[in-house]
Amino acid sequence: MLALGLAACTSPGSGTSGSGSDAGGGSGAEGLPDTLRIMSIRALTGPVSFAGLNAQKGIDLAIAQIEADGLLGETTIEVDSRDSASSPQEAASFASQAIADPSYVAIVGPEASAQATAVSPIVDQQGMPTVYVQAGSEGVVIGDYTFRITPPAASYFDLAGDYAEQQGVTTASVLFNSGNPTLVQLGQEVVPELAAEHGFEVLSTGGVEATQQDFTTPASSIAGEDPDAAFLMVQGPQYPVAITQLRQAGYDGELIGMSAAGAGNLSSAGEGAAGFVWPTNFTAEQDVESTRTFVEAYREEYDGEEPNNYAAEAYDAMWFLARGIAEAGSTDRAAVQEGLAAVAGEGFDGAQGEITFEGNDARVPGVLVRWDGSAEVPVEAGS
């Protein structure tokens, strides 16, 4: 475990949503054991490992702060990280192992929607509190025991519609990753809805394979249509190639994406991706006090490294769990679920800013960012 020694006032997630449990005699807070265990099911290898590895850093930072803060008395948190790679079956198997072992209090669920939708029916039926990072598709938050700390992209994606309207967009083409449920939803449902609301016409909608890295054909097709804007709903590592090949095909219109374009995924495209915009739930440069506090702590812990949305979301997930456990004053799974529901009912300020919930599903205002050729920066209203 890390040992940052950060005071409560410096932790964006510090404090509980209600009375919680006070530090009492013995090693843990009253009703809590000396150590509590949480299973974290992450993609630490495979095509979306960039998300899992960054999430792990956010989890580690949060644990250090929670323990230094004293939220759980002297109780320590042990996180058992399991690598689900790209396998829904593996993720479901890990969840079943956690359920069968009474020492596990809760699960931090996998980022990939395909894995999350395999896990959710199991944990909800068996009463295991599970908090997801990412996993933005339907079929993830399905009952009392499933929570999601990453707001679905669709919940703040209207920022992209506002931007398109401000830029005078009248026509658009859409390209989406057909292997990712969240990206399919954005491409086939959300963008067309934005078109109707913001007065532009969708000329075409096309899908690409989950791991595709050659976009020559769809890039040529979009360039031939010459829309005012191209919406790219693909996975992070696909963005540099897709943008580069669109520009090489002669397309010079607006390029709009989603949060997977962040986390440094555009670095390899450099100036070639300059001007690319996307709505996101978090950027390190957003002007929110709780975000600034998190960013400063993260930079200090990781030698000046800039946190991305995956780290911020996992950090918030771990604080959410700790607050729920403190609210429960117990590691009984049913009590923890009730504690999490109470925290969700009140909301809290975290790395992502002001977090509220619709049921068990988090919401944030969101922010529009632009890649300037070397970094992502917030887009000023109207620009």
42-77 residue pLDDT tens? 988 877 777 788 899 999 999 999 999 999 999 999
> Is pLDDT of 24 > 50?
no
> Is pLDDT of 281 > 90?
yes
> Is pLDDT of 4 > 80?
no
Confirm if 354 and 364 have CB atoms less than 8 A apart: yes
For range 156-180, the mean pLDDT? 96
How many helices and strands (H and E) does the chain possess? 12, 15
336-362 residue pLDDT tens? 999 999 999 999 999 999 999 999 999
Please report where in the chains the tokens 């529901």 appear, as a residue. Answer: 341
End-to-end Cα separation, the chain, in angstroms: 44
pLDDT at 28: 56
Closest CA to 273 of 236, 304, 305: 236
230 vs 116, 160, 321, 337, CA distance in Å? 29, 12, 39, 42
pLDDT at 218: 97
Closest CA to 232 of 265, 198, 199: 265
Confirm if 220 and 184 have CB atoms less than 8 A apart: no
For range 160-180, the mean pLDDT? 97
pLDDT at 22: 35
302-327 residue pLDDT tens? 999 999 999 999 999 999 999 999 99
Confirm if 40 and 30 have CB atoms less than 8 A apart: no
Which residue would you say has higher pLDDT here, 249 or 210?
249
330 vs 28, 256, 291, 339, 370, CA distance in Å? 11, 46, 29, 9, 44
Residues ≥6 apart with Cβ < 8 Å to 102: none
Confirm if 169 and 228 have CB atoms less than 8 A apart: yes
Q: What is the mean pLDDT of the chain?
A: 91
> Is pLDDT of 212 > 50?
yes
pLDDT at 45: 85
> Is pLDDT of 1 > 90?
no
96-131 residue pLDDT tens? 999 999 999 999 999 888 899 999 999 999 999 999
Angle at 370 between CA 59 and CA 229, to 5 degrees: 125
pLDDT at 20: 34
Please compute Rg for the chain using Cα positions: 21
Query: pTM of this prediction?
Result: 0.84
Give the residues across from 40 on adjacent strands.
Answer: 81, 108
pLDDT at 154: 92
Cα–Cα distance for residue pair 236/25, rounded to 1 Å: 48
